Structure 1
Amino acid sequence: MTTQAEQARRLRALHAQPPLVLPNAWDAGSARAIEAAGALAIATTSAGVAWSLGVSDGGGLSMAAAVGAIRAIVAAVSVPVTVDIEAGYGDVSAAVTAVLEAGAVGVNLEDSTGGVLDEPSVYASRIRAARAAAVAFGIDLVINARTDTYMFGDGAGTMDRAGLYAEAGADVLFVPAVVDAPTIRTLAADSPLPLNVMAGPGAPSVPELVELGVTRISVGPAITARAYALATAAATELLKTGTYDTLA
Structure 2
Amino acid sequence: MTKNDLAARARTLLDLHTAPEILTLANVWDVVSAQVVAATGARALATASHSIASSFGYEDGENIPLDLHLDMVRRIVQAVDVPVTMDFEAGYGNPGETARRAIEIGVVGGNLEDQMKPLDEAVEAVRAVLEAGRSAGIDFVLNARTDAVVRADKNAPRTEVIDEAIRRGRAFLDAGAPVVFVPGLVARDEIQTVADAFGPRKLTVISVPGVSLPASELQALGVARVSTGPFTQRVALTALQDAASALLGGGVLPANTRPLN
TM-score between both structures, scaled by the size of structure 2: 0.87
Aligned to 2:110: 107
Deviation digits for residues 90-132 of structure 1, max 9, x if unmatched?
Answer: 11122111110110100110011xxxx2111111110111111
Specify the alignment match of 1:163 in structure 2: 170
Residue in 2 that maps onto 1:123: 122
Aligned partners of 1:4 and 1:105 also within 8 Å = yes
Aligned: 1:11 with 2:20: no
Q: Matches of 2:191 and 2:35 in 1, distance apart?
A: 31
Q: Which runs of 5+ in 2 are unaligned?
A: 153-160, 257-261
The alpha-carbon deviation at position 61 of structure 1 amounts to: 1.7
Q: Does 1:199 align with 2:215?
A: no
Residue 173, structure 1, aligned to residue 180, structure 2: yes
**Cα distance, 1:156 vs. partner?**
4.2
SS of corresponding position for 1:3: helix
Q: What amino acid does structure 1 have at the position aligned with 2:190?
A: T
**Percent of pairs with identical residues:** 37
Aligned length: 243
- Unpaired runs of at least 5, structure 1: none
Equivalent-residue separation in structure 1 for 2:243 and 2:94 (angstroms): 40
Structure 1 residues 14-29: aligned runs within 5 Å:
14-17=16-19, 18-29=21-32
Which range moves more in the overlay, 73-82 or 159-168? 159-168
Q: What RMSD, in angstroms, separates the aligned Cα atoms of the two structures?
A: 1.8
Query: How far did 1:184 drift?
Result: 0.6
Q: Tell me, in whole angstroms, the C-alpha distance in 1 between the residues paired with 2:254 and 2:211.
A: 25
Using a 3 Å threshold, how does the CA distance of structure 1 residues 242 and 203 change in structure 2: closer, same or farther?
same
Q: Is 2:162–2:194's contact at 8 Å kept on the other side of the alignment?
A: no
Conservation of the 8 A alpha-carbon contact between 2:91 and 2:112: yes
CA distance in 2, matches of 1:244, 1:179: 38
Q: Deviation digits for residues 53-87 of structure 1, max 9, x if unmatched? A: 22111132221111101101101110100110000
CA contact (8 A) 1:124 1:164 kept: yes
Equivalent of 2:192 in 185, 195, 203: 185
Tell me which residue corresponds to 2:97.
Answer: 94
Shift, 1:226, TM fit: 1.7
Residues of 2 paired with 1:27 and 1:228: CA distance? Answer: 14
- How many angstroms apart in 2 are the aligned matches of 1:191 and 1:231? 40
| Equivalent position of 1:225 in the other structure | 234
- 1:64 pairs, out of 57, 61, 67, with 67
